[in-house]
Structure 1
Amino acid sequence: MSKAEVFQLIQQYQTIILHRHVRPDPDALGSQGGLGEIIRATFPEKNVYLVGDEDPSLTFLTSMDAIEDDVFEGALVIVCDTANQARVDDQRYTNAEKIIKIDHHPNVDPYGDVRWVDTEASSTSELIYEFYVSFKENGLEMTDEAARLIYAGIVGDTGRFLFPSATGKTFSYAAELVTYNFNRPALYDQLYNTEHEIARLKGYILQNFTVEESGLSTVKITQDILNEYNVTPLQTSAVVGTLGDVEGVLAWAIFVEEEDQIRVRLRSKGPVVNEIAAKYNGGGHPMASGASVKTWADTEKVAADLNTVCIQYKNN
């Protein structure tokens, strides 16, 4: 589907509701909030809402709206940065009249009436800025706040422009975004400021990790450890990159015990891990994915699969 269809539908509908994935990251909120700001600035007469659960650590980016069920009747829903239907935050999105999917993950679940999926983009936030660039001559308006949100999303999903997904286009868009009036140093501080509890948990990981001959490293964070360091399962998203700079580590998994499941956070410097994530009720990017399993015995199966892909990667 084309960007033009997305623009036409936004023009057509009076009520537009923007969703993103559960347990949001800066790209999810940056794309959702950034697009919402653009639509509000361009069409002030329209009803525009952002929905989903709040993450207290990311409310500095944007906040969500509380809306009644009947608002979805006859509305346009735009789901940002969400590969599959099960991960859409606020499942009432299915009650809308029309659904658009905008994403940069592999299109394993082609849901929605209109889909704009570009796996070459560094982030969905990059796609939102591309959308603005494509239709600014047709009246789309960028605001300082939209630029702040989109920039935050790009920074978050490119690891401050360090990941290979950051292309020339990414840097070109970033150069344009920083010309808008927002406090970049403050934004970086908010994105990367580390709470004492998280810093101590990172220390625990660095003191307890091991590396297999294949280059695989795994870390288990049980409820007891979470309680000891006074960290919630949601907050552990901040420690997922801890092993990324460790010599000899090709891929790593952090297993986090939640109330009813074990969260699996996967990262890689080469071996493809999203296929393994898909095997265990998850998905994501080739080098950054997530999944969930029920028992610690299941985590051993995940580790075995990861070890296999690491060995294959080293032998190729």
Structure 2
Amino acid sequence: MHDKILERIKVYETIIIQRHVRPDPDAYGSQVGLSEIIKASFPDKQVWVVGDADPSLTFLAEMDTIADSVFEQALVIICDAANQPRISDPRYKLAKEIIKIDHHPEVDRYGDIQWVVPTASSTSEMIYELYAAHPELQLTTRGAMLLYAGIVGDTGRFLFPSTSEKTFHFAGELIKYPFDRTMLYEKLYASRLDVARLQGYILQQLKLHETGVCAIRITKDILASYGVTSLETSQLVGTIASIEGVKAWLFFVEEEEQIRVRIRSKGPVINGLAGKFNGGGHAFASGATVYSWDEATRLEQELQDICRQFESN
């Protein structure tokens, strides 16, 4: 698969790299890290990165603005997006050829070539593997920083079960490049004072069910009162991860026309549940969308059933 992807990269003069909406460090890291590799290895190619932005992560990269016509004879490579509704910028459909590179469980076989490895810690890890498999490819210091940021982000600083011996090996190779790791960590995990105050509110309101399920509900009014955006709440999802007795948790954030749900688990598998509620993801980290607080309650009840079943086994 490495060889097949590199062969297609060599064929095209114009390459556009995309990823999922509401980007996280792995989305940015894999997308822009790959662009750095291609630009350094094939300087005559036109390489673009497109998609929506997360203001807290623009220090990693700024997206390009390109016309629709650029897509028409281009190769599009989509990183870290399990299914098509999650792809940021629908113009990928205009491309001449599409390659999918992803580490989520496969639910949507889109693209002319699919390289999907659910056991990989991150898509950034896969991009480094692609680079390492081909000595002719070049990796810049900026590219190494981006891939390292993606691996760090999707492994929870190497704490999640997806972290493997390969993950540590690749991370060890990446830190040989002279980027400032201290600065990177500070920027990745910095939060505004308003976000910290909302975190305090979450901890004060915390309720833990006997099933080990905890559900946090953040309404539009709460967001407004703390001066925090829906996007910024992603920084708080891990707030209760270390609390004793928590097996799984739900993080509901009310937006204008929907309620975004982040689901996390310490053991029960939850991506099937996410799929029933307009979402998906990994076995222990998934996302979903509901459209009323009644639907949110049903999701919470189903998660409790999953935890009961997990406990009985």
Give secondary structure in 1 for the equivalent of 2:43.
coil
Equivalent position amino acid for 2:231 in 1: L
Give secondary structure in 2 for the equivalent of 1:245.
coil
* In 2: Cα distance, 1:195 partner to 1:231 partner: 9
| Residue of structure 1 in register with 2:6 after alignment | 7
Moved over 2 A (4+): none
| Residue of structure 1 in register with 2:250 after alignment | 253
Question: Which of the numbers 257, 264, 268 marks the counterpart of 1:267?
Answer: 264
| Residue of structure 2 in register with 1:315 after alignment | 312
* In 1: Cα distance, 2:188 partner to 2:281 partner: 21
In the TM superposition, residue 74 of structure 1 has moved relative to its aligned partner by: 1.1
Question: Which of the numbers 177, 183, 186 marks the counterpart of 2:183?
Answer: 186
| Residue of structure 1 in register with 2:298 after alignment | 301
In the TM superposition, residue 131 of structure 1 has moved relative to its aligned partner by: 0.3
| Residue of structure 2 in register with 1:120 after alignment | 119
* In 2: Cα distance, 1:11 partner to 1:291 partner: 37
User: Mapping of 1:5-44 within 5 angstroms?
Assistant: 5-44=4-43
Q: Show CA shifts across 1:128-160 (max 9, x none).
A: 000000112xx1001100000000000000000
In the TM superposition, residue 81 of structure 1 has moved relative to its aligned partner by: 0.3
RMSD: 0.6
Equivalent position amino acid for 2:48 in 1: Y
* In 2: Cα distance, 1:208 partner to 1:246 partner: 14
| Residue of structure 1 in register with 2:142 after alignment | 145
Equivalent position amino acid for 1:127 in 2: M
In the TM superposition, residue 3 of structure 1 has moved relative to its aligned partner by: 1.6
| Residue of structure 1 in register with 2:95 after alignment | 96
* In 2: Cα distance, 1:93 partner to 1:254 partner: 31
| Residue of structure 2 in register with 1:55 after alignment | 54
* In 1: Cα distance, 2:268 partner to 2:240 partner: 15
In the TM superposition, residue 227 of structure 1 has moved relative to its aligned partner by: 0.5
* In 2: Cα distance, 1:35 partner to 1:227 partner: 37
* In 2: Cα distance, 1:9 partner to 1:128 partner: 15
Equivalent position amino acid for 2:79 in 1: C
Kindly indicate whether residue 211 of structure 2 is the aligned counterpart of residue 221 of structure 1.
no
TM-score, with length taken from structure 1: 0.98
Give secondary structure in 2 for the equivalent of 1:302.
helix
Q: Show CA shifts across 1:133-188 (max 9, x none).
A: 0112xx10011000000000000000000111110000000000000010000000
Q: Show CA shifts across 1:230-274 (max 9, x none).
A: 001111111111110111000000110000000001111011111
In the TM superposition, residue 198 of structure 1 has moved relative to its aligned partner by: 1.1
* In 2: Cα distance, 1:209 partner to 1:314 partner: 22
Structure 1, unaligned runs of 5 or more? none
Equivalent position amino acid for 2:219 in 1: T
Q: Show CA shifts across 1:258-293 (max 9, x none).
A: 000000011110111111111011011110010101
Kindly indicate whether residue 208 of structure 2 is the aligned counterpart of residue 211 of structure 1.
yes
In the TM superposition, residue 120 of structure 1 has moved relative to its aligned partner by: 1.0
Give secondary structure in 1 for the equivalent of 2:15.
strand
Kindly indicate whether residue 229 of structure 2 is the aligned counterpart of residue 239 of structure 1.
no
* In 2: Cα distance, 1:306 partner to 1:28 partner: 27
Aligned-pair identity (%): 57
Equivalent position amino acid for 2:127 in 1: I
Equivalent position amino acid for 2:85 in 1: A
In the TM superposition, residue 37 of structure 1 has moved relative to its aligned partner by: 0.3
Give secondary structure in 1 for the equivalent of 2:115.
strand
TM-score, with length taken from structure 2: 0.99
In the TM superposition, residue 10 of structure 1 has moved relative to its aligned partner by: 0.3
How many pairs does the alignment contain?
313
Give secondary structure in 2 for the equivalent of 1:60.
coil
Question: Which of the numbers 159, 162, 169 marks the counterpart of 1:162?
Answer: 159
Give secondary structure in 1 for the equivalent of 2:217.
strand
Give secondary structure in 2 for the equivalent of 1:286.
coil
* In 1: Cα distance, 2:56 partner to 2:231 partner: 9
* In 2: Cα distance, 1:231 partner to 1:214 partner: 30
Give secondary structure in 2 for the equivalent of 1:135.
coil
In the TM superposition, residue 221 of structure 1 has moved relative to its aligned partner by: 0.2
* In 2: Cα distance, 1:288 partner to 1:125 partner: 17
* In 2: Cα distance, 1:91 partner to 1:116 partner: 20
* In 2: Cα distance, 1:272 partner to 1:120 partner: 15
Equivalent position amino acid for 1:131 in 2: L
